[in-house]
Amino acid sequence: MTDKTLVLNICGAPYASLAPLSALRFAKAALATGHKIQRVFFYQEGVTLANGLSCPPQDEINLTKEWQKLAAEHQVELAVCVAAALKRGIIDAKEAARYGLEQHNLAEGFVLTGLGQLVDGMANADRTVTFNS
Amino acid sequence: MTDKTLVLNICGAPYASLAPLSALRFAKAALATGHKIQRVFFYQEGVTLANGLSCPPQDEINLTKEWQKLAAEHQVELAVCVAAALKRGIIDAKEAARYGLEQHNLAEGFVLTGLGQLVDGMANADRTVTFNS
Amino acid sequence: MASLHQLNAQHKLANCLKLLAKTDSLVLIEAAVALAVQADFLQQLPQGVSVFALSSDLQARGLLNNCSPAIQPLSDAEWVAASLEADRVCSW
Amino acid sequence: MASLHQLNAQHKLANCLKLLAKTDSLVLIEAAVALAVQADFLQQLPQGVSVFALSSDLQARGLLNNCSPAIQPLSDAEWVAASLEADRVCSW
Amino acid sequence: MKASNSFDLLVVFTQPPLTASLAKEGLDLSLVNSTFEQQTGLIFLGAGVLQLHPNQQPDILALKGTQAMLQALGLYDINQLFVDEQALLDYSLTTADLLLPTESCNPLQLQKLLATSRNVLTF
Amino acid sequence: MKASNSFDLLVVFTQPPLTASLAKEGLDLSLVNSTFEQQTGLIFLGAGVLQLHPNQQPDILALKGTQAMLQALGLYDINQLFVDEQALLDYSLTTADLLLPTESCNPLQLQKLLATSRNVLTF
């Protein structure tokens, strides 16, 4: 049962759902028991975790930072569905330029990408686990 | 039944809910039948409508722009709960400076304000109508 | 002192029914208009409750013609009027 | 070819039950752990389904000690193991 | 039941604890409402009665929970808490089990609270 | 029922039309899945059967709807659509009423579809 490859699919927003927090618990437990998280995909409202401008109260968990930390420590890819993100106003510098916007907000460590990355992940990982809103 | 004062309380996000769209329909019908929209308050996930970086597909309705237009034409106040907004990464230039952030994204025409504006609205309007997620 | 209950999702019906008095009204909006074509919906309501559903929401989902005759379709203007006629709107 | 059904909200139970085979398992997570202390929950399930609930989610809500003995609390590590032992995870 | 209750705002909690931040946002609003000298009543409906379940430990999930806010209600003169009698039965609870003093209400009593309040918000 | 079905991905629709953008996002994923040569099956469960209700006019709400995407499924070789027999009864529908050809399934048949698919996503 050790050394399996996992893909996590996060579809719920922080605050409106517990999806990013539950997925974080799952990811930590998976890594601690010898498995690999190949990719975390953010779809639907889940893309809002990648908003780099969120300022939670100081005494509350900052889920965006927690995911950035986990991804950096364990080389986990944080892939954000670009179509879902643009609709919801999560945008990197490159897309902002393309849309003529002066500001951008994609948090460091997250990458805008296509739905194909989720499909590829589901096809190749040993197990895909979704966290809904 | 004419000339009543209304407050609308929008608690659901665009895409994840129909709250901003239903409230827009309600507001247009209310204005068309002679009533006044004193204030629109955005709470919970509703604050994400005020994200000025959202780029919906060109063939889809842009709800942020629709609300900006309605507000400008009818002098409607678009009040966004500041605590709910900061947590979710909806931030104006002033708050961004306070938090040491280089970017900001509050859409034009929306104002960050306290929950007191909702309480004041409910206490004084003839009717408050909430649009949940 | 009647309330207008505004229901926007089917799964919120159980809680709505706890506060729905027989002198109150219920308006189905958004995806909750699906209840208007559901076989056992009306018999769950207390006798006497007036039930409305937003016309545009029904029509957008193809349900206007299947809607039970006991449920009255409302234009957006009638929705605003019903919200003002009631003593309060309780949104679920 | 058994599935692990991951349920995170009480109101999704009705749809989950439509796909829940008697050889499948069910894990209650997040606020759905409230089902673990609800009087008529277990009798809605097909005979034979193994039911789990996340220990931390129960404890965070004060429900660990009230949880039915027929429901097995899972640590996060056991949750991962259960997700890998099943043939697939169906998240509601 | 205090039959003459009439609230400026009735806040209705319908979800179990730690369902998104719904309960927290409902309590924030209740407290602000009270600072505006508006009479506030709270109803715990359906699974919302679990908001008052004792021994909650939200810190286990690194979450904040609402226990401190619930304890603060009294300081804001919010003392009228009503719980859904049927929900207590569904979750095998009595009012004595709950975190705060509450009044158990049958459907007609709950409906009367709504019928006599100026505004209502559900969370 | 085509007993030998075995899908790489089963996409389950559970909500009525125009419930947020859930159905659209499920269909987007189905189409992309197909372009990756992955076998895709769709189940319309509970109120999800209304996704296939005829005469939808989402433009009345200035919304886009999913009719064009549903019509495109065949071009992507997605022809296996299954509907929940009980839900058809609940909404007084038959498969003949629906926008696309579908197969009506009882609970055991629905459960078998899940048991023989590699991955599943619910919308």
| CATH assignment at residue C77 | 3.40.1260.10
Instruction: Give the residue from chain C lying closest to E10, CA to CA.
Output: C90
The answer to whether the Cβ–Cβ distance between B29 and C77 falls below 8 Å is: yes
B/e letters for B61-100, b = 16+ CB within 10 Å, e = fewer, are: bbbbebbbebbeeeebbbbbbbbbbbbbbbbbeebbeeee
Q: Is the pLDDT of residue E114 over 70?
A: yes
pLDDT band per the 50, 70, 90 thresholds, residue E59: very high
Contacts of E22 in chain B (CB under 8 A): 44
Task: Tell me what pLDDT residue D74 has.
Answer: 98
Structural domain including C21 reads: 3-91
B60 to chain E nearest CA, in Å?
29
Domain locations in chain E as residue ranges: 9-122
Q: Is F61 on the interface with D (CB under 8 A)?
A: no
* Rounded mean pLDDT, C16-32: 98
Q: Considering the domain B5-131, what is its CATH architecture?
A: 3-Layer(aba) Sandwich (3.40)
Three-class DSSP category at B25: helix
Q: Is the pLDDT of residue E3 over 90?
A: no
Q: Is F98 on the interface with C (CB under 8 A)?
A: no
Q: Is the pLDDT of residue E1 over 60?
A: no
Tell me how far the alpha carbon of residue D18 is from its chain's centroid. Answer: 15
ipTM of the predicted structure? 0.97
The H or E element containing residue E40 is strand E40-44
* Rounded mean pLDDT, F1-14: 81
pLDDT band per the 50, 70, 90 thresholds, residue F5: confident
Q: Which of C25, C84, C22 is nearest to C48 (CA)?
A: C22
F26 to chain B nearest CA, in Å?
13
pLDDT in tens, E70-87: 999 999 999 999 999 999
B45 to chain E nearest CA, in Å?
10
Provide the domain count of chain C: 1
**Taking a C-beta distance cutoff of 8 angstroms, is the pair E66, E27 a contact?**
yes
| SS3 assignment for chain D | CCEEEEECCHHHHHHHHHHCCCCCEEEECHHHHHHHHCCCCHHHCCCCCEEEEEHHHHHHCCCHHHCCCCCEEECHHHHHHHHHHCCEEEEC
Six-digit token string for B29: 């019908």
Task: Tell me what pLDDT residue D1 has.
Answer: 79
Residue in A78, A80, A81, A90 annotated catalytic: A81
The answer to whether the Cβ–Cβ distance between B44 and E21 falls below 8 Å is: yes
List for chain C the helix, strand, coil content (%; round to 5): 45, 25, 35
* Rounded mean pLDDT, C61-83: 97
The answer to whether the Cβ–Cβ distance between B116 and E29 falls below 8 Å is: no
Q: Is A118 on the interface with F (CB under 8 A)?
A: yes
State in Å, rounded, how far the first CA of chain B is from the last one: 29
> How far apart are alpha carbons B54 and B64 in whole angstroms?
8
Fold for the domain defined by F9-122: Hypothetical Protein Ychn; Chain: A, (3.40.1260)
Q: Which of residues 4-23 of F touch B (CB under 8 A)?
A: 18-21
Task: Tell me what pLDDT residue C65 has.
Answer: 94
Q: Is the pLDDT of residue A11 over 50?
A: yes
pLDDT in tens, B78-91: 999 999 999 999 99
Q: Is the pLDDT of residue C28 over 90?
A: yes
Task: Tell me what pLDDT residue B51 has.
Answer: 98
pLDDT in tens, A62-106: 999 999 999 999 999 999 999 999 999 999 999 999 999 999 999
Task: Tell me what pLDDT residue F3 has.
Answer: 41
Instruction: Give the residue from chain A lying closest to B101, CA to CA.
Output: A53
Q: Is E54 on the interface with D (CB under 8 A)?
A: yes
Q: Is B111 on the interface with F (CB under 8 A)?
A: no
Q: Is the pLDDT of residue D39 over 90?
A: no
Q: Is the pLDDT of residue B18 over 60?
A: yes
